[in-house]
Structure 1
């Protein structure tokens, strides 16, 4: 009998990739969206769309009713622990059997960034929820590079406040396929497990630039900038101050060596090596090319 999987954060990068990874699987997909206007494209994936908001517990029961498995992704915001709490409350009320939660690498009470500390609170609450649970903790997403696509396509350069930090960055498609693997396995198989997901090797952004150059057939350069310069650019784009502060904290942690590691979790879950930056660059070359 098919299990019903509720996907929260359904229009985001990771959840969209997860629904792609679950395409054709013997599950009934249900997608939680904040507004009906955000449902475009989700029904094409044969997902039942339910409108609800993790900020509002009263809106959640219809989304969670009859669900066995929840993919729990909360937005990065000061309200993230509240959103997680609301989802777990709705899940318990509905008799959900399993939570598969997206956290972050290094989540801990003493993490050097607010995102890691907030995720640690939600991880612990999930562990104490009384339901089966699995937590995925990915490192920096390769897909974050798509935020630099306009600069790369227009000027052949991109700027980050990461200095020469090595990071075991991971492809979002691997995160999604790991999540799909957990969701498709027996609920007991991964209960109580926390998987830290990385790519195959730590990378500096100079190496990222080299791989983009090879994939695009033209020279791409990484231009490191100061925290203040990056902060000014992000605020100029209208990014909220809380988010800008969080991004700066991550950058400072990475520069200190916080992301200089890899794990075998992707390979263990998928029985293949994780995607390399060369794979990402080749597969996304069009995004970095001006028409």
Structure 2
């Protein structure tokens, strides 16, 4: 394959998994990075690196020159639409043929989350850009559970403000493998398609705890918490207030059943069933396992 793929958000969860999934694909991989200190790790994986920032459109042309395909991932935040706009403008100026964009679950102009509404605006821009396009709107990432790994390992509990909501949560590796298949299938097969990657079934967090308990062989308990308690905890960890508010909006929507669905998109595109929560727990068991005696 004689094509160059530019990857934005290259050090993030999904983009990192995408680089793995494209190993031996024949793509010439190029990454756009804000932080020069992260370039060497990517270069060691055979990825060409360019320093630029989606906040600064003047920094983008060198990275976009000579690119055929763009993997578009914008940071979550109030400037997400501006970041997308800058990238799409640079892509058009560079005559890029196709963009595969990572959006958000249920992105829509009437979504109950600010992230979903912002993503809807950017999705619309991509659709009207004149480029070839495919959009992925994945469900809640199983990798989000890694944020609770310390509590699970040390206390055997984790606390979220999603009540008894059920989610068709998906492993980020399955999102990446779907994206890799879209990219390697060529620029036309998946044009104007919107995929919603999910896991194999919808599951509540009490059952997530049960699955982890079976895999890890130690008691695990899910403890529902309030929005205020969760927000105070996140703010205490230094999470920006805008992100904390966005996460509360998602949690409230999930608690009301907004995420209780699945699709067959992963299997339809990749030919393989998506990973289950138990699969995820087995593959990441070390992260959730206490390194010493568990506190009483």
- TM-score normalised by the shorter chain: which range applies? over 0.9
Task: Give 1:204 deviation, angstroms.
Answer: 0.3
Measured against aligned partners, the alpha-carbon deviations of 1:56-100 in whole angstroms (never above 9, x if no partner) come to: 000000110000000000001000000000000000011100000
Cα distance in 1, alignment partners of residues 214 and 24 from structure 2:
34
| Residue 254 (str. 1) matches residue 247 (str. 2) | no
Cα distance in 2, alignment partners of residues 156 and 2 from structure 1:
50
Alignment size in residue pairs: 291
Name the residue aligned to 1:222.
222
Cα distance in 2, alignment partners of residues 119 and 174 from structure 1:
21
Measured against aligned partners, the alpha-carbon deviations of 1:128-169 in whole angstroms (never above 9, x if no partner) come to: 000000000001000000000111111111000011100000
Name the residue aligned to 1:126.
126
Indicate conservation of the 8 Å contact 1:142/1:280, yes or no.
yes
| TM superposition score normalised by structure 2 | 0.97
Name the residue aligned to 1:83.
83
Cα distance in 2, alignment partners of residues 285 and 87 from structure 1:
38
Task: Give 1:290 deviation, angstroms.
Answer: 2.8
SS of 2:274 mapped into structure 1: coil
SS of 1:29 mapped into structure 2: strand
Indicate conservation of the 8 Å contact 1:5/1:30, yes or no.
yes
What RMSD over aligned residues (CA atoms) do the two structures have, in Å?
0.7
Name the residue aligned to 2:197.
197
Gaps of 5+ in 1: none
Name the residue aligned to 2:186.
186
SS of 1:42 mapped into structure 2: helix
Cα distance in 2, alignment partners of residues 265 and 106 from structure 1:
14
Cα distance in 1, alignment partners of residues 113 and 137 from structure 2:
15
| TM superposition score normalised by structure 1 | 0.99
Task: Give 1:105 deviation, angstroms.
Answer: 1.1
Name the residue aligned to 1:152.
152
Cα distance in 1, alignment partners of residues 97 and 52 from structure 2:
20
Name the residue aligned to 2:39.
39
